[in-house]
Amino acid sequence: MTTPWIIAAIVIILAFVLMGMYNALVRSKNRVDEAWSDIDVQLKRRHDLIPNLVETVKGYASHEQETLTKVVDARNAAMSAQSSNNSEELLKAENNLSTALKSIFALAESYPDLKANQNFLELQRDLTDTEDKIMASRRFYNANVRDFNTKLQVFPTNIFGRMLGFKAYNFFEAIEAEKETVAVKF
């Protein structure tokens, strides 16, 4: 009579352990999804600021059309990638947009009137603030990805997590061009 009770107790304990692992994985997955959503919000803010920035620069640097076109094209590609829900495509498009935005700020160095324009300065501050928030959101996302992926890799969650259909997330990484050392020349 005690053997069935022992077996029942083991099954109940095992069920609670599995339930706890599953709930922990779901909570962690939701944190990763929330962190990705935070990145999305900041990227949308950046996408909304860029047309205003381009229009301000157009007034001062109308013959720099190629640079402005690259920024607009990069923004459109990033917005398209954002709606595709493909994280690798989005990463590439957003990194291209960051590179294009740097060219606008470099362009401003050639136009003292533009550099002194209050609208341009305000847009530049807003964009810099947004870039900082994107960077913080990426760090938050990567921390949550690390925690989730660790849960999927440790025993015994690694066995049950994969059986329950959980898959590891990819980290948000910088492109190779952003990792290179910047050459400073005087």
Q: What would the pLDDT profile of 51-87 be if each residue is shown by its tens digit?
A: 877 777 766 666 567 777 788 888 888 888 877 777 7
Q: What would the pLDDT profile of 26-53 be if each residue is shown by its tens digit?
A: 999 999 999 988 888 888 888 888 887 7
Residue 4: phi and psi, rounded to 5, are -60, -35
Give the long-range contacts of residues 153-162, CB within 8 A, separation 24 or more: 156/17, 156/21, 157/21, 157/24, 157/25, 160/18, 160/21, 160/22, 161/21, 161/25
Q: What would the pLDDT profile of 137-163 be if each residue is shown by its tens digit?
A: 989 999 999 999 999 999 888 888 888
Domains in the chain, please, with CATH? 2-179 (1.20.1440.20)
Provide the whole-model pTM.
Answer: 0.69
- Tell me if 137 sits within 8 A of 39, measured CB to CB: yes
* Block residue for tokens 């595709």: 84
